[in-house]
Structure 1
Amino acid sequence: MMRFIFTLVFIFNIGVTNAQNTVNNTLEKQDYEYFLDFFTSGNTQVHKEALKYIEDHWKESFEVMAVETMYFLRSPSTSLKLLNILQKKTKKYYPRDFDKWYEYIWSKQSSYPDAYYTFKAILHKAIDSRFDRYFLDREHQSTIRLDEVRWGGVKQDGIPPLRNPKMLNAKDATYLDDKDIVFGISINGDTRAYPKRILAWHEMFTDQVGNIPVAGVYCTLCGTVILYKTEKDGIRYQMGTSGFLYRSNKLMYDQKTQSLWNTLWGKPVIGPLVGKGIELEYLSVVTTTWGEWKKRHPKTTVLSLKTGHRRDYDEGVAYKDYFSTDELMFTVQEKDTRLKNKEEILAIRLPDKTEENIAISSNFLKKNHIYKGVINHNNFTVFTDQSGAHRVYFTKEIEFTSYDKTSLAQDSNGETWELDENQIKNIKSGKTLQRLPTHNAFWFGYHAAFPNVKLIK
């Protein structure tokens, strides 16, 4: 998630003060309120008393509140005094290296109290009045560590999703070059391309594709584009960008309940929907080039530049600096150095059938254009075309021996099969084999979401 720069003047208004009063009706001042004093009062004596209380009553649960308070404080002198207390109590000396502080906190069992939800709600409500609904009074409705949820630098939908965006016929998309990267999808014969150069500025689209309501979610930080069906058990979820991250992976929210959803899991992780067994079904997304996609699908449609927003949609502009290095914008709890952070992998999993999870290096697959594997006792074959795009099919007992790196493959019996976006078909017999939904991701982000993933490289 790109960190947009806001001028954040943390003078809490009456609404925030009322929120604080609502969640704390006791006469005794609670610990977290001393941290909020730095924002709710401009009185230096109040600040001095807050610092003294924090130092005299220090406990481990103060660590994350101190770090988050320093992150937002605009008073260098007060921030330094709080930092000195933090360093003295923890015997850790990271100055204002927030990634280091978070790594230290995450290296231990979580120690924050239930009141940390309230602290986080009030603190972030100063940025966006909708943020408190994510956290307020939800201490028993979270499946992830709350101290791993970090603000990404934008308000709710501050990176605006494209809702029912305008599409063009392929011949009219003159703004695209054949080498431009696109994310291709096909549902019930409705075939579309979403150029990376546009989607990187919006990180999400919601639409009806092939008469199926979907959300395409692009986490630029973790390099993942996932296509979800947004209707589950008769309920249609209207998804958006929350403004928060979990392990450098954007968290979605649904408009009705304001629950936060993990993008890679497709599940609500904080809020009223937690524990209700909801998991969105995901579909395949192909990362390829515009030239290769339109050659395969001449009737495809593609995003128009007329998005309703003013952005520089030239190729490679969005996140240019981030994509050009292996450095992270937001650290994660644990890194796995078997691959570089942003090396691309193909993710293969069947969440409704097994916890088994496979990540295959895209560089490995480019050298092995046909790769056969097994998941949940089912044989699959990955075909990687000349653009580097991967398509995966359940191939049962069939062995494929050659692939033209476009759309035709041959099996060990000499029979020819044709690949499309939903199946692979035997040209002679008409037999078909089902497509396995997959997507690409950066290694660091996928491993952070699935630490027990099996890596093939």
Structure 2
Amino acid sequence: MRLLLTFATALSLALPAAADPSFWKHEWPDTDFETTTITNWVEIMSGGPPKDGIPALSDPQFIEVAQETRIKGNEPVITVLVDGQRPRAYPIRYLTWHEIVNDTIGDVPVAVTFCPLCNSALSFDRRVGSRVLTFGVSGKLRNSDMVMYDRETQSWWQQAIGTGIVGELTGTELTLLPSWMEGFAQFAERHPDGVVMAEPAWNRPYGQNPYRNYDSSKRPFLYSGEMPPHDVPPLMRVVRVGDRAWPMDRLAEAKEIREGGVVLSWRAGQASALDAGVIAAGRDVGSVRVRDAAGADLPHDVLFAFAFHAFWPDGEWMLGN
């Protein structure tokens, strides 16, 4: 399997979509393109790699926190907690190259996902009714966000909103699980009994960032939509809870914000995965937790401002003014 294209190479090879899905039917013969919420097919673009060109992972292996020697303390991981189960950390150094991990924690089948172009890290319950879905990477983008697909029905899913957009399961919403990105040392300090996903058996330069300097770019990659309002920079990280977004610079300055029934907290200690050529050398962007008034973790996302505006155009910007 060939290596994932670097950001620069992908930029030069990315293909525009056709104005209708006939362009993809040879690649997706089992997808029901007649059932869809897409009204403008030009929104769908190829990111460069073909279907499964970015190989999603299934049946990941784990090691004890104390056994992990490859990952630096500031490297980002996605923390997933399921009641009654040992905490699990999914390193971004692996998800950068695979984007989806299909796993099962206890009796809960989960999909842990990361879209580098939107900085969106979300974890979903893979159950839809009586089905358990297995997700792959379609190679398509919409508003620069990964389009996933499920192997059972070949339906397409928008990662940022966890919703089916093409095929049999169009309109179906996945259940979002509480999870968050933080530095590995922060995970290990809080969960010394936790486990960490082991390095996959793929030939990838794990620990390197193929999207070097992306989060300091002035414009997003493969995005032609509107820029965010209120002069918010398009590549600024925002904390999304439902249809509300808090700019990261506001939270980083305040360290804690209590608004609208939620408590957002920020602490230093997490490197950007989209800055330096080596992830651990990335600048510190901090780690965010979101809880309710009782202290329970809430589902949320830390994504770029342009992506929030693209998928929640009527969303509320929590600017604190």
> TM tier, shorter chain?
0.7 to 0.9
Matched, 1:334 2:226: yes
More helix by percentage: 1
CA contact (8 A) 2:56 2:135 kept: no
SS in 2 for 1:272: coil
Q: How does 1:60-139 map to 2 (within 5 A)?
A: 116-118=20-22, 120-121=23-24, 125=26, 130-134=27-31, 138-139=33-34
How many residues in Structure 1 have an aligned counterpart in Structure 2?
A: 292
Return 142-151 or 172-181, whichever deviates more.
142-151
Task: Give, as a single letter, the amino acid of the residue that structure 2 aligns with 1:297.
Answer: H
CA contact (8 A) 1:142 1:271 kept: no
In the TM superposition, what is the alpha-carbon distance from 1:449 to its structure 2 partner?
1.3
CA contact (8 A) 2:138 2:148 kept: yes
CA distance in 1 between partners of 2:35 and 2:61 (Å): 41
CA distance in 2 between partners of 1:324 and 1:204 (Å): 25
- Which of 32, 37, 41 does residue 146 from structure 1 map onto? 41
- Compared with structure 1, are the counterparts of its residues 322 and 328 closer, same or farther at alpha carbon in structure 2 (3 Å cutoff)? same
- Which of 446, 449, 453 does residue 308 from structure 2 map onto? 446
Q: How does 1:228-243 map to 2 (within 5 A)?
A: 228-243=124-139
CA distance in 1 between partners of 2:5 and 2:311 (Å): 21
SS in 1 for 2:112: strand
Matched, 1:292 2:218: no
CA contact (8 A) 1:144 1:269 kept: no
CA contact (8 A) 1:332 1:448 kept: no
SS in 1 for 2:98: coil
Q: Please name the residue that 2:11 is paired with.
A: none
Q: Please name the residue that 1:365 is paired with.
A: 251
In the TM superposition, what is the alpha-carbon distance from 1:358 to its structure 2 partner?
0.4
In the TM superposition, what is the alpha-carbon distance from 1:292 to its structure 2 partner?
1.4
* TM-score, L = length of structure 1: 0.60
Matched, 1:347 2:229: no
Larger Rg: 1
Return 243-252 or 281-290, whichever deviates more.
281-290
Q: Please name the residue that 1:435 is paired with.
A: 297
SS in 2 for 1:366: helix
In the TM superposition, what is the alpha-carbon distance from 1:144 to its structure 2 partner?
4.3
Matched, 1:279 2:173: yes
SS in 1 for 2:265: strand
Deviations 1:171-210 (A, max 9, x none): 1111111122222111123311122222101111010123
Task: Give, as a single letter, the amino acid of the residue that structure 2 aligns with 1:205.
Answer: V
SS in 1 for 2:263: strand
Task: Give, as a single letter, the amino acid of the residue that structure 2 aligns with 1:236.
Answer: V
SS in 2 for 1:320: coil
- Which of 163, 169, 172 does residue 58 from structure 2 map onto? 163
- Which of 251, 266, 270 does residue 384 from structure 1 map onto? 266
SS in 2 for 1:201: helix
CA contact (8 A) 2:6 2:210 kept: no
Q: Please name the residue that 2:155 is paired with.
A: 259
Q: Please name the residue that 2:279 is paired with.
A: none
In the TM superposition, what is the alpha-carbon distance from 1:132 to its structure 2 partner?
4.4
CA distance in 1 between partners of 2:48 and 2:28 (Å): 13
Deviations 1:247-283 (A, max 9, x none): 11111111121111111121111112225xx211101
Deviations 1:324-365 (A, max 9, x none): 53332202321115222221111101xxxxxxx101112211
Task: Give, as a single letter, the amino acid of the residue that structure 1 aligns with 2:254.
Answer: N
Identical aligned residues as a percent: 24
SS in 2 for 1:313: coil
CA distance in 2 between partners of 1:368 and 1:297 (Å): 26
- Compared with structure 1, are the counterparts of its residues 296 and 364 closer, same or farther at alpha carbon in structure 2 (3 Å cutoff)? same
SS in 2 for 1:200: helix
In the TM superposition, what is the alpha-carbon distance from 1:131 to its structure 2 partner?
3.0
In the TM superposition, what is the alpha-carbon distance from 1:386 to its structure 2 partner?
3.9
In the TM superposition, what is the alpha-carbon distance from 1:4 to its structure 2 partner?
6.4
CA contact (8 A) 1:392 1:435 kept: yes
In the TM superposition, what is the alpha-carbon distance from 1:381 to its structure 2 partner?
1.6
CA distance in 2 between partners of 1:446 and 1:265 (Å): 10
In the TM superposition, what is the alpha-carbon distance from 1:145 to its structure 2 partner?
2.2
CA distance in 2 between partners of 1:141 and 1:179 (Å): 41
CA contact (8 A) 1:182 1:290 kept: yes
- Compared with structure 1, are the counterparts of its residues 361 and 279 closer, same or farther at alpha carbon in structure 2 (3 Å cutoff)? same
Task: Give, as a single letter, the amino acid of the residue that structure 2 aligns with 1:370.
Answer: E
